[in-house]
Amino acid sequence: MSEDLYYKTATELRRLLENRTISAVELVQSAIARTKATDDKVRAYLDTNEDEAIELARASDERRANGKILGPLDGIPVSIKDLIVEKGKLARCSSRILENFVSPYDATAIVNLRNSGAIPWGRVNMDEFAMGSSTETSYFQKTANPWDLERIPGGSSGGSAACVAAGQTVLSLGSDTGGSIRQPAALCGVVGMKPTYGTVSRYGLIAFASSLDQIGPFSRCVEDSAMLLDAISGYDPLDSTSYSGDIPNCAQAIPEKKGPWKLGIPKEYFPDNLDPEIRTAVEAAVDNYRARGCEIIEVELPHTELAIPVYYIIATAEASSNLSRYDGIRYTHRSEESTDALDIYFKSRGEGFGEEVKRRICLGSFVLSSGYYDAYYLRAQKVRNLIRKDFQNAFKQVDALLTPTSPTPAFKFGERTEDPLTMYLSDIFTINVNLAGFPALSLPCGLTSGNLPIGLQVIGQPLKEDDLFAIAHSYEQANDYWKLRPTL
């Protein structure tokens, strides 16, 4: 078996499985071995299910021997962010308040994964309740960036990005509320994609902000993300926000759609203080599209500057509501210092939640409180609609938008933990997409002089993920940045 099996793409592994060059058991064993060899440095995983994964791999090999494979991902391991529930497994959201919570059911995304033959393999670290941009707010551990172990992997899906970048798994699932898939994908040099809101069921996704949250894929290449999205998307009656119309087959569309396209460059995403190396790399990517026949058009998204305040009103308001269920009485951490019911509630939440989660609960409770609802939350929702209209107007001119994913490369541990506003600005280029509900993807487009990955964000039109993947794939195939790997 090739030494670099763990760095092959799911597309390559699919062919090796079809040709019987490798078995699913060998593939899972490779992931286990790689994780054991590297995770003491990366610290991506909270739990692994080695025995179960090998049993599922054996079942996949038996199906393949009988000509009954379930889909293109049959036999391929996928790591799961710690807020997507799996029956019989801990689902802790990297929080003390849920440290002993075992889920009694599978999320719909997990059901769909299993039905496709993919193998859920291990649960990975994240910012507590998905609140963070660095995976430093986890109660259990800080995940490191495989490109530089002294730096953060991004967040909140830092574990999901780091485990793919480190070769510990082929694919992973994360969630994106304000950039939590795309930003860590950019910082770890992998592909990360946020689908149109409603195309992937949120049933079994432990909620942060329900009108913004969306499950999505991480992978090494664009085609792999398309395959994984195809496997998990689709209408779900268990999710009232699930989209019931037709959803395109993204993997099938990639070779069919060749372009050239009209691509927009929002001037608001290239401010004067943008990191110069990121500016250079993204502008080079734009030039690459132009050289291959694409028409490049400057567009305006005039309400971009309002994204951060609007997001941190809406997201915290929804978080304060969603997190009120963690009361120390039912299935969460219960304080041993409590003397009565009210004491249980206050002390359990005080002990169980980390500082960033408490900060957002307080902000959300304030903006929803009597006398402030109209001034903050209602006004934020109105501005959210203006942000959505900005995108709709831009898409009357172009097929997709090209922007940086993150304003800076990965920063060192501790650099921003004492300054929440600076941390929040890490997502300044990704938040608007969640507010609008549109799809977007980040893929590698270069390295800094310090050998840190840079991400290009491609923002697509709602329910046109097939076009989005084709546009991203065309750049990927014209460049080798996605083939670069960290040295661990």
- The catalytic residue positions are 81, 156, 180
19 Cβ neighbours under 8 A, 6+ residues apart = none
Backbone angles phi, psi at 335, to 5 degrees: -65, 140
**Residue among 117, 171, 97, 164 at smallest CA distance from 353:** 97
What residue type is 206 in one-letter code?
I
φ, ψ at 39 (rounded to 5°): -75, -10
Measured CA to CA, the distance from residue 162 to residue 435 in angstroms comes to: 26
Q: Round to whole Å and give the CA distance between 478 and 159.
A: 29
Q: Compute the distance between CA of residue 165 and CA of residue 386 in angstroms, rounded to an integer.
A: 37
Residue ranges in 43-78 assigned as alpha helix (H): 50-65
Q: What region, left, alpha or beta, does residue 237 occupy, with left being phi > 0 and alpha being psi -120 to 50 degrees?
A: alpha
User: Which helix or strand (DSSP H or E) is residue 456 part of?
Assistant: strand 453-459
Which class for 480: exposed (0-12), middle (13-18), buried (19 or more C-beta within 10 A)?
exposed
d(CA 282, CA 336): 53
Q: Which residues of 262-284 are buried (b: 16+ CB within 10 A; e: fewer)?
A: ebbbbebbbeeebeebbbebbee
* DSSP label of 410: P
First to last CA, the chain: 20
Contacts of 257 (CB under 8 A, 6+ apart): 466, 467, 470
Using alpha carbons, select from 392, 375, 415, 403 the residue that is nearest to residue 464: 392
Sign of CA dihedral 192, 197, 200, 201: positive
Other beta carbons less than 10 A from residue 43's beta carbon: 22
Q: Which residue has the tokens 């899906």?
A: 157
